[in-house]
Amino acid sequence: MLRWVRQQLGFDPPHQSDTRTIYIANRFPQHGHYVPQKFADNRIISSKYTVWNFVPKNLFEQFRRVANFYFLIIFLVQLMIDTPTSPITSGLPLFFVITVTAIKQGYEDWLRHKADNEVNGAPVYVVRSGGLVKTRSKNIRVGDIVRVAKDETFPVDLVLLSSDRVDGSCHVTTASLDGETNLKTHVAVPETAVLQSVANLDKLVAVIECQQPEADLYRFVGRITVSQQTEEIVRPLGPESLLLRGARLKNTKEIFGVAVYTGMETKMALNYKSKSQKRSAVEKSMNSFLIIYLIILLFEAILSTILKYAWQAEEKWDEPWYNEKTEHERNSSKILRFISDFLAFLVLYNFIIPISLYVTVEMQKFLGSFFIGWDLDLYHEETNQRAQVNTSDLNEELGQVEYVFTDKTGTLTENEMQFRECSINGIKYQEVNGKLTPEGFTEDSPDGNRHSLMKEEELFLKAVCLCHTVQINADQTDGADGPWHANGIASPLEYYASSPDEKALVEAASRVGVVFTGTSGDSMEVKSLGKSERYKLLHVLEFDPNRRRMSVIVESPSGEKLLFTKGAESSILPRSKSGEIDKTRIHVDEFALKGLRTLCVAYRRFTPEEYQEIGKRLHEARTALQQREERLADVFNFIERDLELLGATGVEDKLQEKVQETIEALRLAGIKVWVLTGDKHETAVSVSLSCGHFHRTMNILELVQHKSDSTCAEQLRQLAKRIKEDHVIQHGLVVDGTSLSLALREHEKLFMEVCKNCSAVLCCRMAPLQKAKVVRLLKTSPEKPITLAIGDGANDVSMIQEAHVGIGIMGKEGRQAVRNSDYAIARFKFLSKLLFVHGHLYYIRIATLVQYFFYKNVCFITPQFLYQFFCLFSQQTLYDSVYLTLYNICFTSLPVLIYSLFEQHVHPHVLQSKPVLYRDISKNAHLGFKPFLYWTILGFFHAFVFFYGSYLLMGEDTSLLGNGQMFGNWTFGTLVFTVMVITVTMKMALETHFWTWINHFVTWGSIVFYFIFSLFYGGIIWPFLHTQDMYFVFVQLLSSGSAWFAIILIVVACLFLDVVKKVLYRHLQPTSTEKVQLTEAGSGINCLDSMCCFSDGETACTSVRRMLERLMGRCSPTRVNRSWSSSDPFYANDRSILTLSTMDSPTC
């Protein structure tokens, strides 16, 4: 127990040595003083709290918020000293806020616990006592032998012992870990591969020594010592032997493996990057406003305290005859009395800080996030995917984006590759009707109708069919339904690959006559024009980002040893010594200019002596326990040289639908788009031009292929000079990865200056971490712009996590990007609706919510401050303590919450079709100092009108109650409070543009509730209250006609100037948004776009959705009008963007 506590506190780390020793099946040595190592159990914990620590941990986190901590201090002050208000006035709202937040966070954590329990309680089979035992995943221990069946996920990190195959190999997919969907091959060591039964495995005596857990998915160094009779056999273990938790077993009936890393020590758990808490600009503004209001509060408290003592300097006011001091009060310290009075005034005015603001904002964000998931315009029917919200804290940030960083492949494009062209031996070929045809030839040409392949063509296609990581679905049934046809022969093979490029190339080769028919043991079978050939696979030189190529060494049917290599032209052409290198380079550039993805293919023949040398070097590097990666890289470079170039391939990746319109809309909204891609320069530029990122009229500047700091700096200076000279035209910048590294190292400021003056920036040949660096560079620049990153693959995760807002595309490269994003959408085109409609509306709603909260609290507490001038600063309260407590919780909370959920100041269709409206809210325009000052001054003005209006009309010796009785303290305070509740509620009504029945219900219902509650509260003597100050006060107030007149007059006086100001500003200085509101008023738009008009093929939930919309008053299908006046100058410039909506006008 003590050790566990020490571990939790971080004093006693569980591992002290650099390696761990694992006895398979936990057969520990019986001799000597062996002390077993302690390992983590196999529980996965993603939850934040436990039953025991929820209350203290949650309270600690909540009281780190300034407002909560402040109210706690006020509450404690009220408990400790004699204050004018009851501790309940601060305690109850604080308790309410803390409780609601705790319930929300507790519920979210309960869902995480539920998910954890599902994983930890999953059934698994473990070899124990000579048989298979069924147990739960959480009970697996390090050293246990685990059985995993086909299509099951691995419950721990296992070292493979054996499979149902003789060679001990198995196939797994790691899509959930790294986004790669290909089938990866893992192999067991020969000594354990033969142990295919439980009985044989139970007799295995072996020890594994390996490194301690680390997060790198692709690194594992260890060795296994197998005891066979009298000898011990030592074999090295590498990543090819390790099966990772979260990966899935494919195309293999079953495997047995020994658990080496468990629970939170598995590589999957170590890769759980705790996402840094992203804070929105609105939240930062809120904290700034809170500090300003704290200063106002302190000023009022200090001023009141000073004035109290200034007033009491006169003897008659220091101790009047009706309030004589006690002996203790006369003798007490003046300093202590001053502090006590200051604290009492602090308590009296403390409601100027809106405690319920935080909880209302949290509820608004949490509930508001559901609208994104419910939006049918963000639903992708083909894949049946809705938009997904992973972080509701950033909803309003979607309305503040200034830079969009986007990946290219799978984000702007479909990531569906189609073979288009290739270059073989310096001749360009195209695929025509399942045949490889040289460029310029047609079916009618003399050689256009060939049925055979030339030697070079066949060798090229064989290289394509042998050098890859493609796997075949073994369950694919034979028959005439086969997906591809090779020379009239149906091929039923279905291919899987890590790279869509590889899959497209193998499929293309099969269509033109060279078919990869699968692997059998260490052999690869290829069928060339119907003739089957078997190649023995000797070595695979895996692809890595540094080499940018992959190779295989095979033995041909004739016994010849061949190396086939394919990769980026920058890594293949410099290593080629023969072949049509110059012609191929020209063809590769031509392919790239067409927007095709290019790969070069080469080969090399080995003499027996060369192969022997290579085999020896490879074995030494692969069995090394130290610096294995570096030694392998050296050997690979030694092997992949003196190549003979065979040719190049060009594969097309189609653009996604409406990408061009979306990028143009982003540009009209004032958002700069940067494309960050790993593709080569020419391909990236071509795609940028085709998708509208670069315009044909744009001046394209280049910063590429720089090897030194000096040349990079000189080029940057020249680019900056050119931009200044040609400042009239738009510029686009192209940067590659190597030049970017140099620019960021020494010339960051100059580079940023060039980038900011360019309308569009394209970064090619980018590594994943470079993407994140670029985003961080923009984030931390002096202007501090709001950034958004969007991508679909595991290589985009770092960029998505770095940006203020991260969006994952539900693409074909696994779910890694989606899981690490704040929001997920199915297609890039949905970004426009997400930003221009949801982002715009969320920002307007929460900006008004925050300002309104401060406004209504100024209205609330300023009359209390003014009242002190009339009661000798005696700290007498103006309002009853129940009213103090319920003002923010009940009387004024719902109208603003409902406003913040449903408000639409402009119709969504207009917001989406007029991207320029997005500029009106950029740079936190509605939460800047001017709007804040306006709302604060308005609050003080209204407060003065409430107080002095009531005082002038009713306060001076006016006996206007029904029974002739004069107004008293509580009657006057209740009058002020009544006027205030009605005014602040009506102010919210004035701000509302979009009325539903819910808005009507809560707005007018809040006022009615206040009257009913006050009548009920003041009409009964409540035995548990220590005073009955409010008994019959409200009834008497309402019985006076003068009081009713005063209420109406003061409310009108308050709101009249506000209405006049709005009218004047709208007509004299209208913003773009206000112009649209005026235009919209006469355009007949009365229902939400795509929510009331439905196509013939309605989804199952559409009818329910329609009913809800009608219930909420948001829809009137008979009044829909989407006609846009051609004479309207405001809409003329970007009419094409109207096509962004998934609904067409005729549908309505």
Q: Would you name the residues annotated as active-site residues?
A: 407
Number of C-beta neighbours around residue 710 at 10 A: 11
263 touches 269 (CB < 8 A): yes
CA gap 459, 603 in Å, rounded: 9
What whole-number distance in Å separates Cα of residue 600 and Cα of residue 424? 10
> Dihedral of the CA atoms 886, 892, 893, 895 (nearest 10)?
150
Q: What does the block give as tokens for 290?
A: 């809170």
Structural contact between residues 898 and 999, judged by C-beta atoms closer than 8 angstroms: yes
With contact defined as beta carbons under 8 Å apart, do 246 and 153 qualify?
yes
Give the Cα separation of 816 and 172 in Å (integer): 17
Tell me how far apart the alpha carbons of residues 1116 and 1109 are, in angstroms, rounded to a whole number. Answer: 9
Q: How far apart are CA 377 and CA 1044, in angstroms?
A: 50
Angle at 782 between CA 778 and CA 786, to 5 degrees: 45
E strands, 997-1073, are none
Going by C-beta distance under 8 Å and a sequence separation of 6 or more, which residues neighbour residue 347?
74, 77, 78, 83, 84, 85, 90
Q: DSSP secondary structure string, 801-828?
A: HHSSEEEEE--SS-SHHHHTSSEEESST
Helices 281-311 and 334-349 sit at what angle, rounded to 10 degrees? 130
* Cα-Cα-Cα-Cα dihedral sign, residues 1109, 1113, 1114, 1118: positive
Name 794's Cβ contacts closer than 8 Å, sequence gap at least 6: 178, 179, 180, 813, 814, 816, 817
Give the pair of three-digit tokens for residue 667: 């540009």
Give the span between the Cα atoms of 747 and 116, in whole angstroms. 48
**Token duo for residue 1078:** 């005026």
Maximum alpha-carbon separation in the chain: 125
| SS3 state at 132 | strand
- CA 1127, 1133, 1136, 1141 torsion: positive or negative? negative
Q: Do 779 and 803 touch, CB atoms closer than 8 A?
A: yes
The dihedral through the CA atoms of 968, 970, 976, 982 has a sign that is: negative
Find all residues with CB under 8 Å of 133, minimum gap 6, and list them.
125, 126, 127
Separation CA 709–CA 721 (nearest Å): 18
Three-state DSSP state, 1052: helix
Of 191, 638, 683, 218, nearest to 413 by C-alpha is 683
The first and second tokens of residue 443, run together, are 């079916």
Contact 668, 1131 (CB under 8 A): no
Within 10 angstroms of residue 676's Cβ, the number of other Cβ atoms is: 29
CA angle 169, 542, 269 (to 5 degrees): 70
Which residues contact residue 243 at a Cβ distance below 8 angstroms, ignoring those fewer than 6 apart?
A: 148, 154, 157, 158, 159, 160, 170, 172, 186, 249, 255, 257
Two tokens, residue 640: 């992949």
Hunting for tokens 């490269």 — which residue is that? 813
